[in-house]
Structure 1
């Protein structure tokens, strides 16, 4: 098609691919054509064969200009993950549009009532976790504005915490033998199997979050000292690298990981070998592993292995403080929910209670 249209490779971009797709007969376009062309463009750009994608102009939209400044702050100063940046920006854009519309954004006129009113309206139709994320994003944004002198007072402390309407659900976990069958189900004779085996061990042995696995780079592995750097929640922390995890990572790097320009530790199995697009890719990997092991827990995401590690530690006598340190919880309250998972201790307590059972 490009030859017939006289289009050179250096002129290929999104506009050209859309023009090509528009020539396909309705109903005759194979599924995935648009996604395939996007991947082709990414591959050609990585190899320098096609011009880089132009940056989107900020234009005259006042909300977008403010959002872009906040984005640069998150990326350059807070070093948060790409997923968190995307989530925070969507919330901040919605807040600014709700407060100012298309008018000039007078940030100095913002009040705590504006912020809490938005959270109440925005959170009315979403789950508690999303409402909590909205409050967290607004606090971050307001502190950024105050530190930059764009608002006179720090309004972040006035943001009301998101409240649950019911007791939080118990974390869903797997038994230790189920975790081992999940890990052993990887076909380590293949590159994909070696990659998945290493990821499952990171999730189950170190309790990493899916986003932390995605963010890992080759430079995060300190082989000489047996340490791995974990990047998450705006922090960098070094953790000891267990022997079996180190062996699995070495097998992936030596006999599985393809040669590619990215420094990310884990990449896609098929060309172009790009990093995972986000945490959901790791959760999909876990769901496939659960299906192979014929396990059907109520929740099938990557966090299941994090919860399983914590629950297993608790049942083996670890304290909540120890668990909080392993999981790198910032607040002790976050770890308290695991106290409800120790069913054996609760049964012992119930049997020792004086009097007849109700």
Structure 2
């Protein structure tokens, strides 16, 4: 088994067996390609079957000179997953990354925006522009439902259950969940569909997609990033933001206003409550309020 074939088979495994998104698969693949390039540059002739922990350690040591600890940890995690796959398929008996310790990294707290900053961003949208109403609806939808950007661009008209007050979201690993949607966000979506989208001829395969570009195709992740980046510049916002910032803000504002952490976990589509708990650390005032409100000695 050579590296090219092993990586190709692994990509199929990640897509079919684990149901990962193409972006995640590409990220795993890039780390393996870096390892392959390192081996070629140093004339180290090993296959995915014969490579050992010493060789992996050399690669990690070389990579550490160029990347930060968080990226190192991600690469080690990706390699560990790849060799676990080879063990699963009976190509190997052991994982050469088992004895390699990932660098210690602190928990990275997500950036958030205040309610005023979000309102300012949305107010900065030029509604006289042909895509103005669409862009406002996009921001309102992400913030109202806490969507990932991949979930937003794949949202379908058939996923809208407004009478029940929910939308159906296809999340990571092709897992479906139903997320409540506020009536104001429903209003913006319906206005966009009935007054803007109706004048766009949807291309084949995009008939059911909610948000379309001018050519009738679905939006890309990059387009959503550019919309937000342009608005941030327009209002002179000094924070570095992305669509995920709106998702983080959604969760943080819910928690701050008294929402249950388990409910937030379900709405965000987090598999583990540990992932959701990061929002407790974002706003420490919430913890203080909980003690002051519910402790019998207060």
What TM-score results when the alignment is normalised by the length of structure 1? 0.65
Q: Equivalent residue for 1:318? A: 259
Matches within 5 A, 1:122-161: 122-153=63-94, 160-161=101-102
Q: CA RMSD in A?
A: 3.5
Query: What per-residue deviation string (whole Å, max 9, x for no partner) do you get for residues 302-324 of structure 1?
Result: 22212222221222123444433
Q: Equivalent residue for 1:75? A: 15
Compared CA separation, residues 154 and 231, structure 1 to 2 (3 A) = farther
Compared CA separation, residues 171 and 188, structure 1 to 2 (3 A) = same
Deviation at 1:238, TM superposition (A): 1.4
Whether contact under 8 Å (1:142, 1:154) holds in the other structure is: yes
CA distance in 1, matches of 2:157, 2:4: 34
Q: Equivalent residue for 2:237? A: 296
Runs of 5+ in structure 2 lacking a partner? 293-298
Whether contact under 8 Å (2:3, 2:48) holds in the other structure is: no
What TM-score results when the alignment is normalised by the length of structure 2? 0.76
Deviation at 1:117, TM superposition (A): 4.5
CA distance in 1, matches of 2:70, 2:108: 12
The one of 121, 136, 146 equivalent to 1:207 is 146
Are 1:268 and 2:210 counterparts?
Answer: no
Runs of 5+ in structure 1 lacking a partner? 1-60, 352-358
Compared CA separation, residues 132 and 255, structure 1 to 2 (3 A) = farther
Are 1:229 and 2:168 counterparts?
Answer: yes
Task: Give SS of 1:240's match.
Answer: strand
Task: Give SS of 2:49's match.
Answer: helix
Matches within 5 A, 1:163-202: 163-164=104-105, 167-168=106-107, 170-188=109-127, 191-202=130-141
Query: What per-residue deviation string (whole Å, max 9, x for no partner) do you get for residues 143-195 of structure 1?
Result: 3322322223456766644521xx44543222223323323443456551232
Query: What per-residue deviation string (whole Å, max 9, x for no partner) do you get for residues 69-121 of structure 1?
Result: 22222333333222222222111122233346788763222334544553443
Task: Give SS of 1:318's match.
Answer: coil
CA distance in 2, matches of 1:186, 1:173: 20
Deviation at 1:209, TM superposition (A): 2.1
Deviation at 1:204, TM superposition (A): 1.0
Whether contact under 8 Å (1:315, 1:342) holds in the other structure is: yes
Deviation at 1:226, TM superposition (A): 4.7
Compared CA separation, residues 322 and 105, structure 1 to 2 (3 A) = same
Q: Equivalent residue for 1:24? A: none
CA distance in 1, matches of 2:89, 2:240: 42
CA distance in 2, matches of 1:234, 1:155: 27
* Aligned length, in residue pairs: 285
